[in-house]
Amino acid sequence: MSIYSYLMLRFEVVITLIIFILLVLKLNDADKKEKSLLIGINIMLLLNFIVGLLPMAEGNLFMGFFRSNGLLVLQKNILNLGLLLISLTSYNYLLKNNNRIEFYILMLSSMLGVFAMLSSGHILVLYLGLEMSTIPIAALANFNKSMKNSSEAGIKLILSSAFSTGILLFGISLLYGAVGNLSFENIQANLQLNELTLLAFAFILGGFAFKMSIVPFHLWTADVYEGSPVAVTNYLSVISKGSVIFVFISVLYSIFSSFTDAWLYAITILSILSMTVGNLFAMRQQNLKRFFAFSSIAQVGFVLVGIAGASKIGLTSATYFVLIYLLSNIASFGVISAIFDATGKETINDYKGLYKSNPYFALILAVSLFSLAGIPPTAGFFGKMFLLTSSMGNGMYVLLAFAAINIVISLYNYLRIVKTMFIDDAVEVLPVVGRNFGMKMALAVCTIGIIIIGFVTPLFQYIDVLSIVK
Amino acid sequence: MSTYDIAALLILLLPILSFAGLSFLGKRITPCTAGIVGTTVLFVAAGLALFTAYGYFFQFGEVAGAYAHHTSLEINWLQFNENLSINLSIILDPISVMMLVVITVISAMVHLYSFKYMHGEERFATYYAYLALFTFSMLGLVVSGNLFQMYIFWELVGVSSFLLIGFYFTKPSAIAAAKKAFIVTRFADLGFLLGILMLSYGAETLDFFVLIERLTQPDSVYLASFTATSFMGLSALSWGLLLVFTGGAGKSAMFPLHIWLPDAMEGPTPVSALIHAATMVVAGVYLVARLFPVFAISAPDALAIVGYIGVFTALFAAVIACTQTDIKRVLAYSTISQIAFMMFALGVAGWGEEKAEGFTASMFHLFTHAFFKALLFLGAGAVIHAVHSNEMKDMGGLRKSMPITHITFLIACLAIAGVPLLSGFFSKEAILNAAYHGNPMIFYVALLTSGLTAFYMFRLYFRIFWYKADEHGHHNHEKGMWAMNLPLIILAIGAAFTGYIPFGDFVSADGKPFELPFHLTFSIAPVLAGVIGIGIAWMMYSKQNSNPDKVSASFGRFYNWAYHKFYIDEIYLFVTKKVLFNLVGRPAAWFDKNVVDGMINGYASITSTTSEAIKGMQSGRLQTYTLFFLGGVLVVAILLIVNFI
């Protein structure tokens, strides 16, 4: 093995480097010059994203504990883009917060965990990555230390996450008992269908379902989303969720490929539950962050519809959808955080007449809501369409029927907010909210992405080429 | 690319360029310039459409004695897998060329008419931009060579009509109507999308012509596997087609998805003429016509359903139209009824020369209807412009002050009533003839309906132009209105003479020229029904009298039902507001608020005694959460073990 093969660790190395730089900066009290510090960090994240785009070899390291291939690189790039955009949209929030370096260190540590988890070729690494990506987020959820509900969010996340970890570990140990070796290849080759392995599967499924907030493992979501700072909610709903979706697909499609019937059965139920419960609960929410919590639960339900395709197109369409979901959600949360930072308002009623006071933000939020609702010609429509196609290919008609009904309900939910912004008259007119360069850039990237991605054919084909189901 | 291909491409490009130009530069140019630019562009497009039609029908369209489809442009857009791709294409075949002419001509008339009608409107340029966008989407829809492209444009049509219906966005009723139209048709479109997915899986293609070939050849493997599975007595193919039809029924306002159309009259009147008379609402008919060979050859059961829904809607809407007092609403219900005529004409048709008469008849009626219905709407717009009201009670005796509107409106009424020698007569005759041979029951209902049509149209006519003396004085309302009068005259010429086109020579199900049968003896019954309808309307409404009230009183409860549109809107409201919100939404919210929060609060109060420090955190909640979590894991495990061991 040559030294060059270590270049496969490029994503992880760059992130670690940035963390070290930040630690050194912290020691030197760089906190004092807020603006130049934040600009510097954003430039580093931009470089991090660009470095990720460079071509990279495929292969395994450390006896197969670490893998890399085209699809993984693409997924990491998608998440890197998300990280950069989130950082840009939280510029104003961090300007006022004095612990901005810690904020980034925690977020990047979580990102390192995400990368380790994505590249894992062994359940041990997968587990470590998953934990490493969650624990820093619990600290981040608690970042508005003076606010009670922020602390509540932090403690809730860490405790319920500890519980889910316990369940997951239990499942892993059962699996170890059944096959005797936890590398992916070995499990895939030796897995037999019996009570023990099914129980192990159910526990592992529970552990992942918790991280993706699938019903009925979702109860923590709304409270944590509501209590955390907007930037952290954004990270949770996009990066944490997206990365676990990626890993979950590869767990189902490769490790448990001999269980296809069983997991199709399970995720059909979970998907129907998630879509329906997520949409129905979203219907009556007043707080926007809580609304987006339930919305994200429903969206994951839709991803499961695509995963139920159990084929190459399932993998492609889910990856494609996560990219679109990432852009739509970051744009939505970007607007929410801009308005929250300036006015402290975050309920739907406060957004009445937003189009008249802040037309720019209202339009961007409307575009991203259209995309989440799947209205053509926004990218969200194409994303949902491919998910449905994937499921249709596998003949999952019952699931499709539920998905169809839920698309209509979700339409109502999202249009409700659009209606509030554009048609209702403001009770209390919001001031004109300023927007800085970072926010503008991030929102522009998201909006342009939402509008054009559906029409950029090569992108879907590129993902399709990279997606390989073993 | 031949000249005609370039012309076809330009027809599409011109409106979208006009849209882009007007929306970006709209604020920098004067409203007058914007209007002139928009109108000129559409007139050029209409000219190009006529040119293309000439080329198609007389120069290159006919191959070996039948009109074949001609691909003007094809770009590969999205490749799903090796077999399935989505192309962007421009297809010329008899029905698409016919639609190109209809859309561009009517749209050009509406552009010209709006120049005066919308004069002084603050967002004049925006209005023209929306009109252009709508026209573009509609043109894209008809030239689509595959189902998916059609779906994209279908949605785009929905979005642009939403913008146009809601154009007076300061008016709450306009916003509500736009929303209703959007949501009802979206709901239907979902059926369409599922239908597309089913058809594309059955035939492994989205291309119309490949799809038709694969699903109609008797020895095709695709057809065999598609019809092998059935559900509730209908094959998978029939279900797929019916789902597609759902989308068509939404756009074409078939019962029970018709509720959005009357409300959509809140938009500016020229918009109603464009969207709700000639173009968007016939999209559903067009869709069924596109897939007609599949319906007729492989799924006659689905086609029969189309026929029954069509004829029921025709009668239903005609009855309602007799009772409405808002003139635009009368026209709206009349439109629903006439579109339903086209729909059931397709429904009664079969495959093969004589049997497919319904197809030609339907397209023929689509063509003639576009002219006289657009004329009726624009005439109604002129009336509304003059008296500033939509209600019949504010009108009467307008024939002296609005001579041009009066004459043209009369021509349109005669045409829609099926009076001989005008266009509507020929097309309606063809439809009734097809129905008579296809399904006699449908024929008798249709005959009754055409009598009703004559009645409600002349009720409208007499009520506007006769009935009582003009209360608005005798000054001429039409001076200086050339922009509004010219389109009326052009459309009146169309309404009078388009019936003389030998339509069967150009449009038929299999592309081969075919003569529409015409029997003088057969026309006696329909004409008689029309004349009786007109006669009754004349007795009741030519002079102010108490007959109408007596008649409506004698119908009693039935009149009331019809007046309230058979309470369909209320049923929808009941289902959505009462049933959905109360039975589903409320309990969900209640559960969240009381059960989840309640448990939490309970736990919180217990734990608060143990520790002051974590009192506010309601740590009880977490226990509930973990309980759900563990329960979920166990239920999943048990279900899996029970089912898979």
Band of pLDDT at residue B608, cut at 50, 70 and 90: very low
Structural domain of A457: 3-466
Evaluate the CA torsion angle A337, A342, A346, A348 in order and state its sign.
Answer: negative
ipTM score assigned to the predicted complex: 0.84
- Looking at residue A394, what is its pLDDT? 84
Q: What mean pLDDT comes out for the span B148-172?
A: 81
Q: Residue holding tokens 């059962």? A: A174
Contact B537, B462 (CB under 8 A): yes
Least confident of B6-10, B170-174, B195-199: B170-174
Nearest chain A Cα distance for residue B165, angstroms: 15
- Calpha distance A311→B279 (Å, rounded): 41
Name chain B contacts of A164, Cβ cutoff 8 Å. Answer: 629
- Looking at residue B294, what is its pLDDT? 86
Read off the pLDDT of residues B609-630 as tens digits, 9 standing for 90 and up: 433 333 333 344 677 777 788 8
Q: Within 13 Å, how many C-alpha atoms sit on residue B162's CB side?
A: 15
- Looking at residue A269, what is its pLDDT? 92
Band of pLDDT at residue B592, cut at 50, 70 and 90: low
Quick one: tokens of A115?
């990368």
Residue B593 scores a pLDDT above 60: no
- Calpha distance A115→A56 (Å, rounded): 15
Which candidate, A134, A149, A28, A14, places its Cα nearest to that of A80? A14
Number of domains in chain A: 1
Q: What mean pLDDT comes out for the span B475-481?
A: 61
- Calpha distance A319→B263 (Å, rounded): 42
Distance of alpha carbon B402 from the chain centroid: 30
Angle B357-387/B403-417 helices, nearest 10 degrees?
A: 150
Band of pLDDT at residue B38, cut at 50, 70 and 90: confident
- Looking at residue B549, what is its pLDDT? 66
Band of pLDDT at residue B251, cut at 50, 70 and 90: confident
Quick one: tokens of A9?
């660790």
- Judging by DSSP bridges, how do beta strands B230-231 and B85-92 pair with one another? unpaired
Contact A87, A114 (CB under 8 A): no
Q: Please report, for residues A212, B23, B38, B161, B184, the alpha-carbon distance to residue B275 in angstroms, rounded to integers and kept in the order given.
A: 45, 20, 17, 7, 16
- Looking at residue B575, what is its pLDDT? 61
Distance of alpha carbon A208 from the chain centroid: 13
**Extended strands (E) in A283-440:** none
Is the Cβ of B642 closer than 8 Å to some Cβ of chain A?
no
Q: How many CB atoms lie within 10 A of CB B505?
A: 16
Residue B298 scores a pLDDT above 90: no
Least confident of B35-49, B68-82, B265-279: B68-82
Nearest to A195 among B169, B626, B645 (CB): B645
A261 or B168: which leads in pLDDT: A261
Is the Cβ of A280 closer than 8 Å to some Cβ of chain B?
yes
Q: What mean pLDDT comes out for the span A18-37?
A: 86
Distance of alpha carbon A465 from the chain centroid: 23
Name chain B contacts of A389, Cβ cutoff 8 Å. Answer: 80, 197
Q: Which residues contact B60 (CB under 8 A, 6 or more apart)?
A: B2, B4, B70
Nearest chain B Cα distance for residue A284, angstroms: 6
- Calpha distance B642→B64 (Å, rounded): 65
Which residues 107-136 of A are in CB contact (within 8 Å) with B?
none
Band of pLDDT at residue A238, cut at 50, 70 and 90: very high
Q: Find, in chain B, the residue whose alpha carbon is nearest to that of A151.
A: B617
- Calpha distance B183→B263 (Å, rounded): 13
Read off the pLDDT of residues B324-352 as tens digits, 9 standing for 90 and up: 778 888 888 888 888 898 888 888 887 77
- Calpha distance A155→A141 (Å, rounded): 9
Contact B308, B366 (CB under 8 A): no
Coil vs helix vs strand at A346: coil
Coil vs helix vs strand at B553: helix
Nearest to A164 among B78, B152, B629 (CB): B629
Is the Cβ of A398 closer than 8 Å to some Cβ of chain B?
no
Q: Which residues contact A376 (CB under 8 A, 6 or more apart)?
A: A382, A454, B151, B152, B155, B156
Percent of chain A with pLDDT over 70: 99
Read off the pLDDT of residues B364-396 as tens digits, 9 standing for 90 and up: 888 888 888 888 888 888 888 788 777 777 777
Read off the pLDDT of residues B219-242 as tens digits, 9 standing for 90 and up: 777 777 777 777 777 778 888 888
Coil vs helix vs strand at B519: coil
Q: Which residues pair with B235 in a beta bridge?
A: B230
Contact A367, A449 (CB under 8 A): no
- Looking at residue B618, what is its pLDDT? 38
Least confident of A26-35, A134-143, A197-206, A358-367: A26-35
Least confident of A141-150, B37-46, B201-210, B558-567: B558-567
- With an 8 Å Cβ cutoff, are A219 and B628 in contact? yes
Is the Cβ of A210 closer than 8 Å to some Cβ of chain B?
yes
- With an 8 Å Cβ cutoff, are B632 and A203 in contact? no
Read off the pLDDT of residues B539-581 as tens digits, 9 standing for 90 and up: 777 666 666 666 666 666 666 666 666 666 666 666 655 555 5
Is the Cβ of B152 closer than 8 Å to some Cβ of chain A?
yes
Q: Residue holding tokens 């096959």? A: A179
Distance of alpha carbon B623 from the chain centroid: 55
B201 or A365: which leads in pLDDT: A365
Chain pair A-B, CB pairs under 8 angstroms:
139
B413 or A115: which leads in pLDDT: A115
Residue B94 scores a pLDDT above 80: yes
Nearest chain A Cα distance for residue B197, angstroms: 7
- Judging by DSSP bridges, how do beta strands A59-61 and A66-68 pair with one another? antiparallel
Q: Please report, for residues B20, B286, B360, B378, B553, the alpha-carbon distance to residue B502 in angstroms, rounded to integers and kept in the order given.
A: 39, 20, 11, 27, 46
- Looking at residue B475, what is its pLDDT? 59
Residue B583 scores a pLDDT above 60: no
B594 or B206: which leads in pLDDT: B206
Residue B515 scores a pLDDT above 80: no
- Calpha distance B410→B106 (Å, rounded): 19
- With an 8 Å Cβ cutoff, are A457 and B80 in contact? no
Read off the pLDDT of residues A414-456 as tens digits, 9 standing for 90 and up: 888 888 888 778 778 888 887 888 899 999 999 999 988 888 8
Whether residue B526 has a cis bond before it, omega within 30° of 0: no
Nearest to A210 among B81, B592, B629 (CB): B629
Name chain A contacts of B639, Cβ cutoff 8 Å. Answer: 265-266, 269
Q: What mean pLDDT comes out for the span A332-348?
A: 89
Give me chain B's average pLDDT, please.
78
Which residues 80-119 of B are in CB contact (within 8 Å) with A?
80-81
Nearest chain B Cα distance for residue A280, angstroms: 6
- Looking at residue A298, what is its pLDDT? 93
- With an 8 Å Cβ cutoff, are A148 and B616 in contact? yes
Is the Cβ of B626 closer than 8 Å to some Cβ of chain A?
yes
Instruction: Find the length of chain A.
Output: 470
Whether residue A377 has a cis bond before it, omega within 30° of 0: yes
Name chain A contacts of B155, Cβ cutoff 8 Å. Answer: 375-377, 381
Query: For the CA atoms of B395, B401, B404, B405, what is the dihedral angle to 10 degrees?
Result: -10
Q: Which residue in B83, B597, B625, B630 has the most chain A C-beta atoms within 10 A of its own C-beta, making it the best mutation to test that interface?
A: B625
Percent of chain A with pLDDT over 90: 40
| Residue B581 DSSP symbol | I
Contact B270, B385 (CB under 8 A): no
Residue A90 scores a pLDDT above 60: yes
Is the Cβ of B410 closer than 8 Å to some Cβ of chain A?
no
Is the Cβ of B489 closer than 8 Å to some Cβ of chain A?
no
Amino acid at B17: L
- With an 8 Å Cβ cutoff, are A280 and B631 in contact? no
